[in-house]
Structure 1
Amino acid sequence: IEKLQDAVRLYRGPFLANITNTDSLTFREWLTIYREQYFRQLLEAIRKLSEYYKTLGDFEIALRYARQLVTLDPLDESSHRQLILILGMQGNRSAAIEQYQVCCKILSEELGVSASRETQDLYEKIKAGMLSGVQHSNMLSSFTPTQLTMFFGRENEMERFKRCFSNPTCRLLTVIGIAGSGKTRLVLQVVPRHLDEFPDGAWLVSLEKVRTKELFLSSIASAMGFQFSGQYPHLVQLKNKLSSLKSLLVLDHFDYLVAETNTLIELLKDCPGLKIILTSREHLNFQSECLFELRGLLYPETELEENPLNFPAYELFINRGLRGRSGFQPKPEDVHHIIRICQLVEGIPLAIELAASRLRDFSCKQIAEILENHFDILETSYKDVQERHRSLYGALNESWEGLSDHEKMVCRRFSLLPDEFAREDAEKIPGISRDDLRTLANKSLLYQTPFGTYVIPQVFRHFLNKKEVTRGDENFLNGYKQFAPGNTLYDPVTNLPRRDVLWERLSYLISRSRRFPQRFAVMILDLFDFGEVNR
């Protein structure tokens, strides 16, 4: 097994891929034979690995190999069937059904054939709920709506959820992140795997349009299937209902109810068997909360990455591209454009999905070129997508409307700052204070790095560029730009980190390496007469 894993990991693409044109017919035939032979050996190795881990019951690893198989050879029905089977055994019935539909579409459009009887029988078993390698609570069907698209990445977050569920002191879990980061989708993916830990019930409560405490409590009661009576306060009745239960409440879209957080604390104090998960764009600032801060999916840092399918952001784009454009199969020259798209949107899932949906109108290269300048094309007309998620700017505008006038003013003045900046640089701009930075970081509109600096998410910077500024702000920005503070983090000539920044980051890496057995490398270039060289 280890040798198979090494072989798959070392695969670098088609045999002699750089050789495309040759006048020798004999050589071309030889190259074609061996290229196909090695490719088939790769597919067989991946197939064996997927089957091995499926037999062990390790469906996560089996699923990763099965997806790789389908991506490499999308016209092979048996590869699709393997992926459908593992999804079904994992208990992810909706994703299995979706994959069956993708398989049928590809077979019909590309080969002009229908799925085999074996594949159809597997689909019928999964559809009827007759196939499962993992037993789930009966609460599953009542807890989560059917997911019609595949889920990618977030393995670290799901592992941390697993630890929190088993930890009796971890009872308030907050998933925060900028609009489009996939907060709700992560929760809907992870909770069904742990329903057996909540034998008395798990309930999903959508709070998207809820603004008051009474409506908040009524929404919880409605999800649990009981009605308040007129004798006691609603909160008291809710406590009485939950006090003896080992249960889970999932409060989705808690953004507009942050002021009611004390109500959650009261519930947790009086209901010892209760855990609460909530999704929000804003940090609650409670010592008792376990914080999950979502950023983008992992994406290749370089466009020369040899194995982009190892990155969930790239996988997501390919998957949504297959769904959105018939026959979509990225060509070798498309790979670095797709990587660039993922880099430009910093792996934000909604932005990647919207970018992939535009493959009906643009090539991968055109999408990347447009995103270099603006994000206007990140929108869709899909009717099965929530209205607020049909446009990246629309999703961000919801966060914007929740800001105070002062916070909006601070955000507009971000245009005077580089993408990454030190707190001291921001405080040199009139109207921006340390508390403002902390507040906007708590609202997922700024990222704070391990080095104490701040980063403006690219999706938010592009959004700010589209917002109209007030006349007062416009006059301020125009008048202050020439006096705006320079970037104290980087040298203005070389654009390299200054010495103190480099030492700070090196110290962080040394500390991290000692805490987690992890090596890193340092390269020292000793250049004489650097000023002359740089000129």
Structure 2
Amino acid sequence: MSPPERFNQAMRRLRRSRGVTQRELSQRAFCSLDTVKKLETGARQPSRHLAEQIATVLALVGDERDAFLALVGTRSPLSNEASSTPLITPAPQPSPIGPFSNIPLLGRKAELAALQDLLADPQVRLLTILGPGGSGKSRLALALAKEVIGHYADGISLVPLAPVTDAALLPQAIAVALGVGLAPEPDPGTQVLAWLHHRQLLLVLDNIEQLRAATPWLQELLVTAPGVQLLVTSRERLHLPAEWVFDLHGLAVPPPGGTTFVQDQAATLDHRYRDAVDRPDLTSRLPLPSLEDWPAVALFTHWARRTRAGAPISPEELPAIAAICRLVEGLPLAIELAASWVRTLSPAEIARELARGIDLLAAAAPTVTGRHASMRVVFAHSWQLLTEHERVALERCAVFRGGFTAEQAVAVADAPLPMLATLIDKTLLRRGSAGRYELHELARQYAEEQLARRKELAATRDRHLAMMIALAEAGDRGLRGHEQFAWYQRLAAEEDNLRAALDWATESGQAAVGLQLAGACGLFWLMRSHILEGFQPLREAGAPRVCAAGNKR
């Protein structure tokens, strides 16, 4: 007669029969992977609550669930624990915690102040900090929580949701963060709503983008618990009626060519420059901000000094650091990853490597783990949240340079206006100040790689080239007519696209098509004093005689 089955044996058998890995079980039951391993070897005994969580994850019901829970306390001979440790410890006033709690928040004073004002507004029940991966949403939310912690009678609680992939488990994740034990019945969502009903607190739901299916329950929470305020970080809007959206972009970067004052970034500098936005006449009397004053440069130098303590950043290195910050468009995670290389490469060498692609943006830094371990991992996660049609459209948009219009998106990427709006809401596309649509340069590089893997890159570039030829020929006629100024402005906005199209014609061996485009751009290039630069790619491709003819135009 075989000995009775112990808890650790039953747990291992049932987990394997359900096809659940130890890691998946740990994530869904909200305990560590080490705990799951110790439970299955019998080196640790579970609390009743943890056993119930495991039973729920393994979908045990009826007699099978009862038999499994009855094994709690049947210890393996390997176990030397006298008692179990509860998974949840009650915490009447939870405090915000997290992996970034001891990391300084640099360059976000204006954003922090604006968010504090929003949270102070009683109309704002749900505030979403919306931004692409690596923009610093979590760090900003934690800094904000620390600033306002005294404003909530029942405190603040951080709910880290990055490891949670099933929307049905959101209530359990909140319960764990709040220190609320759950009974077998009723369902966790109902119990959490009942517990929150009379509370006055701030819930910080960090990284919620993969749990969009939980939005109906969140809406119910807002109705059921009027004293609860939600602060959410996400790569995607929740589209709830109560949602207020705060867009988070990269840190301000110094413009090319020096320290010229830039009004649209003045809010991120000190108060003297913010005042100059309302008083342009003050600008000429202010000292120009040095490179160190720009938030993106300050963040890079902070991480670089930590990486090579005792070797300060020299003034000669600052221009290269400014170039790095421009290449990554001020994205904080990319800046941190780039700065982690200063022990191996000089800033100038880092800038050259970044100009070749995003592969350098990976580092084994203690603050950069998981899906933030590299920019590739960041973008891969964002891509998983897209539908197939959205992915294809976004990847086709990668052939544009310098932005594009809604009409161009339809012609080249088959991306109508509703699709563009969706991609903006998912923070993978943005609408610039000039009304043109843009991809972050790092996202554009990643998207272009994905398009090449689909074997659609050449065909998409051909469509882009054909469109640019049609535009250039229309522009050539327009520049010779009474609408010359309007056409000059239009072609100037498309200059990067025209260059990209000419480069593709040269690269793909379409010399005749390239000459057609160059000829149509001749007058425009002449007006821009770019005539030699414009024909240079074709000259290098081996069409000197025709190029010479074009230069005489």
With normalisation by structure 2, the TM-score equals 0.62
Residue of structure 2 in register with 1:30 after alignment: none
* One-letter amino acid of the counterpart of residue 230, structure 1: P
* One-letter amino acid of the counterpart of residue 191, structure 1: A
Matches within 5 A, 1:121-136: none
Q: From 419, 425, 447, give the equivalent of 1:436.
A: 419
1:293 and 2:247 correspond:
yes
Q: Check 1:226–1:404 CA distance in 2 against 1; reply closer, same or farther (3 A cut).
A: same
Residue of structure 2 in register with 1:158 after alignment: 112
Structure 1 runs not aligned, ≥5 long: 1-136, 505-528
**Residues in 2 aligned to 1:313 and 1:393: alpha-carbon distance in whole angstroms:** 21
Q: Is this contact kept in 1: 2:205–2:231, CA < 8 A?
A: yes
Residue of structure 2 in register with 1:276 after alignment: 230
1:488 positional shift:
6.8
* One-letter amino acid of the counterpart of residue 388, structure 2: D
Q: From 142, 152, 171, give the equivalent of 1:217.
A: 171
Residue of structure 2 in register with 1:357 after alignment: 340
Residue of structure 1 in register with 2:383 after alignment: 400
Q: Is this contact kept in 2: 1:139–1:195, CA < 8 A?
A: no
Residue of structure 2 in register with 1:169 after alignment: 123
Q: Is this contact kept in 2: 1:282–1:444, CA < 8 A?
A: yes
Residue of structure 2 in register with 1:115 after alignment: none
1:485 positional shift:
4.2
Residue of structure 1 in register with 2:284 after alignment: none
1:409 positional shift:
1.2
Q: From 448, 467, 477, give the equivalent of 2:450.
A: 467
**Residues in 2 aligned to 1:532 and 1:358: alpha-carbon distance in whole angstroms:** 39
For residue 190 of structure 2, give the secondary structure of its aligned residue in structure 1. Answer: helix
For residue 452 of structure 2, give the secondary structure of its aligned residue in structure 1. Answer: coil
**Residues in 2 aligned to 1:233 and 1:533: alpha-carbon distance in whole angstroms:** 71
Q: Is this contact kept in 1: 2:129–2:231, CA < 8 A?
A: yes
**Residues in 2 aligned to 1:417 and 1:162: alpha-carbon distance in whole angstroms:** 38
1:415 and 2:369 correspond:
no
For residue 378 of structure 2, give the secondary structure of its aligned residue in structure 1. Answer: helix
Q: Check 1:275–1:326 CA distance in 2 against 1; reply closer, same or farther (3 A cut).
A: same
**Residues in 2 aligned to 1:212 and 1:338: alpha-carbon distance in whole angstroms:** 41
Residue of structure 2 in register with 1:258 after alignment: 212
* One-letter amino acid of the counterpart of residue 299, structure 1: V
For residue 133 of structure 2, give the secondary structure of its aligned residue in structure 1. Answer: coil
* One-letter amino acid of the counterpart of residue 342, structure 1: C
Give the share of equivalent positions with the same residue, in percent.
Answer: 30
**Residues in 1 aligned to 2:188 and 2:113: alpha-carbon distance in whole angstroms:** 36
Residue of structure 2 in register with 1:206 after alignment: 160
* One-letter amino acid of the counterpart of residue 233, structure 1: D
**Residues in 2 aligned to 1:141 and 1:274: alpha-carbon distance in whole angstroms:** 15
Q: Check 1:138–1:361 CA distance in 2 against 1; reply closer, same or farther (3 A cut).
A: farther
Residue of structure 1 in register with 2:320 after alignment: 337
Q: Check 1:313–1:430 CA distance in 2 against 1; reply closer, same or farther (3 A cut).
A: closer
* One-letter amino acid of the counterpart of residue 395, structure 1: V
Q: Check 1:346–1:232 CA distance in 2 against 1; reply closer, same or farther (3 A cut).
A: same
Pick which of 137-146 and 242-251 moved more.
Answer: 137-146
Q: Is this contact kept in 1: 2:134–2:333, CA < 8 A?
A: yes
For residue 428 of structure 1, give the secondary structure of its aligned residue in structure 2. Answer: helix
For residue 237 of structure 1, give the secondary structure of its aligned residue in structure 2. Answer: helix
Q: From 340, 348, 368, give the equivalent of 1:385.
A: 368
Q: Is this contact kept in 2: 1:321–1:328, CA < 8 A?
A: no
Q: Check 1:317–1:412 CA distance in 2 against 1; reply closer, same or farther (3 A cut).
A: same
Q: Is this contact kept in 2: 1:248–1:274, CA < 8 A?
A: yes
1:473 positional shift:
2.1
With normalisation by structure 1, the TM-score equals 0.64
1:500 positional shift:
6.5
1:479 positional shift:
4.6
Q: Check 1:293–1:497 CA distance in 2 against 1; reply closer, same or farther (3 A cut).
A: farther
For residue 328 of structure 1, give the secondary structure of its aligned residue in structure 2. Answer: coil
* One-letter amino acid of the counterpart of residue 371, structure 1: L
1:450 positional shift:
3.8
For residue 292 of structure 1, give the secondary structure of its aligned residue in structure 2. Answer: strand
Q: Is this contact kept in 1: 2:168–2:214, CA < 8 A?
A: no
**Residues in 2 aligned to 1:387 and 1:328: alpha-carbon distance in whole angstroms:** 29
RMSD (CA atoms): 3.2
Residue of structure 1 in register with 2:189 after alignment: 235
* One-letter amino acid of the counterpart of residue 152, structure 2: F
**Residues in 2 aligned to 1:532 and 1:162: alpha-carbon distance in whole angstroms:** 47
> Number of aligned pairs?
374
Q: Check 1:470–1:484 CA distance in 2 against 1; reply closer, same or farther (3 A cut).
A: farther
1:471 positional shift:
5.0
1:284 positional shift:
1.7
Residue of structure 1 in register with 2:431 after alignment: 448
Residue of structure 2 in register with 1:426 after alignment: 409
Q: Is this contact kept in 2: 1:179–1:281, CA < 8 A?
A: yes
**Residues in 1 aligned to 2:126 and 2:304: alpha-carbon distance in whole angstroms:** 37
**Residues in 2 aligned to 1:142 and 1:534: alpha-carbon distance in whole angstroms:** 56
Q: Is this contact kept in 2: 1:239–1:267, CA < 8 A?
A: yes
For residue 342 of structure 2, give the secondary structure of its aligned residue in structure 1. Answer: helix
1:230 positional shift:
3.3
**Residues in 2 aligned to 1:472 and 1:260: alpha-carbon distance in whole angstroms:** 36
Q: Check 1:261–1:230 CA distance in 2 against 1; reply closer, same or farther (3 A cut).
A: same
For residue 249 of structure 1, give the secondary structure of its aligned residue in structure 2. Answer: strand
1:367 positional shift:
0.9
Q: Is this contact kept in 2: 1:239–1:271, CA < 8 A?
A: yes
For residue 248 of structure 1, give the secondary structure of its aligned residue in structure 2. Answer: strand
Q: Is this contact kept in 2: 1:172–1:275, CA < 8 A?
A: yes
Q: Is this contact kept in 1: 2:96–2:145, CA < 8 A?
A: no
1:184 and 2:174 correspond:
no
Q: Check 1:533–1:455 CA distance in 2 against 1; reply closer, same or farther (3 A cut).
A: closer
Q: Is this contact kept in 2: 1:202–1:248, CA < 8 A?
A: yes
Structure 2 runs not aligned, ≥5 long: 1-90, 260-288, 480-484, 494-524, 532-553
Q: From 313, 318, 323, give the equivalent of 2:301.
A: 318
